[in-house]
Amino acid sequence: MKKQMKKAGFILTAAVLSLSIALGGCSSNETPAASVNNSKAEPAELKPVELSWHYLAWEDPKDLAAVNEKINEITTKKINATVKLYPLTWDNFKQKTNIMAAAGDTYDLVFTSNWINEFDQAVSKGALRKLDDLWQYMPNVKKSIPDEIWKATSVKGSNYAVINKQIFANQYGIGIIEPYVKEYNLELDQITSYEQILPVFEKIHADHKDVKLRGIGFDTLGFAPAFFGKFEAIGDTQLPGWLNAEGKVINQYDTPELRKVAQYNASLVQKGYIDPRSKLPGQDFTEDEKANKYPIDNVELIKPDMVTNGALAKDGKTKRVFNLITKPKIFSNSLTAAMTGISTTSKNPERAAMLIELVNTDKELYNLITFGIEGKHYTKAGDNLITKIADSGYNTNTDFVFGNVFNGFYTDPGQVGSWDATEKLNNEAEYSELLGFNFVSEPVKTEIAAVKSVMDEYGNVFAGWFPEKYEEFLAKLKNAGVDKIIAEKQRQVDEWKSSL
């Protein structure tokens, strides 16, 4: 097998490409096709259409209509299309997108990833359209990311989603509210694992009884497998079937490393450090976060500027500081963490592709959909720096769901220059040995559905509320077919490696 571990030395270009597209390349309901940068084609040559876009949002934006109106002024002028935005909050996004896919609803763009509206399963269900014939409408998006990286969204030779360009190199650490660091003279570089957070938290809790810790749930594990051991996720990052250091696919929940995490959670529950509301679905902890009642985070994806400059806490004014623990590495799951897909039910897939191209190349549009209207939702504090207006009615807080984050404003003076630093980190990080492998879940979709049902039922067991049921949880996974899923993942990995 060729050695896959290598430097990801690539140049992420932003070339402006003008492309004429013949009528014969048009499909679906499009009239004369044109790239958004084709100066020979005017938007008036395209019939007007309305596109829908379902995406993840931090909160329901009260001022959505005003922002949507401004967006449509740009999209009508550039591609003769209006866009109807459908922001979905974290607690209902997964259910809504599953229902949409199952019902065959007509829609155009949708956020997909390896952790919510899971990419491999969306492809398996036939919910996402192939992009082979649509790249002609997204020339700059295609050019801005190396071919090696695009392999992450390729299934059986075809791409099914557009990667939202952001930090690709995963490096993890912990974050803490700075006033506590100063108050207790904490040395962050002494915290090198999640377990070492507890004694630090207990110092803080002794004087501040209202502070809490978060447990480590399935979502946190899926977000950062490499933080908890020499693991790499395959497909849906929360499902059983991670790859270990020996190249073997295993049920991570039945390993010493993750059993220890479950025990850690149980100790936090026993000591009363976790808010009991977290046992219930759909709970909103925004106000507690804004009040800095969560002084320490178990694990953070650390961007270059965060180590040197820190970042703002949820209250928008208190500083958070960070300690980097793991080395940067590009995994397939870091590339598929934020993507935009085009639905197979879209009646205007070409125009949907044009919208993807536009939002990734037009900084005004990207910042409008991400941050809202200047003077109403934010004020300019520098050339590319803004200050968000508190309670303005528009705060997506999810810049990664729309497109290339490097087109975005900085929201903290400490971030200025970090886009270049992040590009450099992406360029210099090592590639995972599995880069380019994509798990096809179709052969075990029945077992996956059954296992996901078990995980939904036993999430609070892993989270520490019912530790006595952990063996029961593992037994239920076996009964649901976890061994078949693991065997299928191993088969596909082995087959892929032998083809290199």
Which residues have C-beta within 8 Å of that of residue 309, sequence separation ≥ 6?
412, 414, 415
Q: Which domain holds residue 134?
A: 23-167+337-419
Contacts for 205 with CB less than 8 Å, ≥ 6 apart: 211, 273
Check residue 384 and give its pLDDT. Answer: 95
Give the up-direction half-sphere exposure of residue 87: CA atoms within 13 A in the CB hemisphere.
22
Question: Is residue 212 domain-resident?
Answer: no
CB 33 within 8 A of CB 350: yes
Question: Residue 30's domain is classified under what CATH number?
Answer: 3.40.190.10
Q: Is residue 366 part of a domain?
A: yes
Per DSSP, the three-state class of 53 is strand
Q: Is 127 contained in some domain?
A: yes
SS3 at position 210: coil
Residue at 65 is within a domain = yes
Quote the tokens at residue 394.
Answer: 């528009």
In a domain, 401, yes or no: yes
Domain membership flag for residue 51: yes
Assess if residue 104 is contained within a domain.
Answer: yes
Mean pLDDT by 10 residues, the chain (500 residues): 37 32 38 41 83 94 97 98 96 92 96 93 94 98 93 92 95 95 93 93 96 93 91 93 96 97 96 92 84 92 87 88 93 92 98 98 98 98 94 94 97 89 91 89 95 96 96 98 98 93
Q: What one-character-per-residue DSSP string does 231-291 give?
A: -B--SSTTSS-EE-TTS-EE-GGGSHHHHHHHHHHHHHHHTT-S-GGGGSTT---HHHHHT
Q: How many domains does the chain have?
A: 1
Q: Which two tokens stand for residue 354?
A: 């044009």
CB-based burial, 289-319: b 16+ in 10 Å, e otherwise: eeebbbbbbbbbbbbbbbeebbbbbbeeeee
In this prediction, residue 161 carries a pLDDT of: 98
Interacting residues of 379 by C-beta distance below 8 A, sequence separation 6+: 386, 387, 389
- Tell me the pTM: 0.77
Q: Please give the radius of gyration of the chain, using alpha carbons only, rounded to the nearest integer.
A: 23
Distance CA 112, CA 335 (A): 12
Residue 248 lies in a domain: no
Provide the residue type at 308 as one letter: T
For residues 477 and 452, the answer to whether their CB atoms sit within 8 Å is no
Residue 119 region by backbone torsions, left for phi larger than 0, else alpha for psi between -120 and 50, else beta = alpha
